[in-house]
Amino acid sequence: MKTLIFTLLLAAPLFAAPAAEPNKTPLLMECEMIIEMFNFSIDQGNPLTKEQIVGVIEACDGQEKHQRTVENMKKLLGTI
Q: Is 22 left (phi over 0), alpha (psi -120 to 50) or beta?
A: beta
pTM attached to this predicted model? 0.63
Instruction: Tell me how many domains the chain contains.
Output: 1
pLDDT in tens, the chain (80 residues): 656 564 655 665 555 555 555 555 678 899 999 999 999 998 999 998 899 999 999 999 988 999 999 999 999 888 77
Q: Which pLDDT score is estimated for 63?
A: 87
Residue 44: domain span: 21-79
Reference 69, options 40, 36, 27, 41; nearest CA is 36
* Total length of the chain: 80
Positive or negative, the Cα torsion across 41, 47, 51, 52?
Answer: positive
Output phi, psi for 79, to 5 deg.
-90, -15
Residue 28 within any structural domain of the chain: yes
Residue 13 within any structural domain of the chain: no
Residue 59 within any structural domain of the chain: yes
Q: Which pLDDT score is estimated for 79?
A: 79
Tell me the CA end-to-end span of the chain in Å, nearest whole number.
Answer: 69
Residue 47 within any structural domain of the chain: yes
Residue 7 within any structural domain of the chain: no
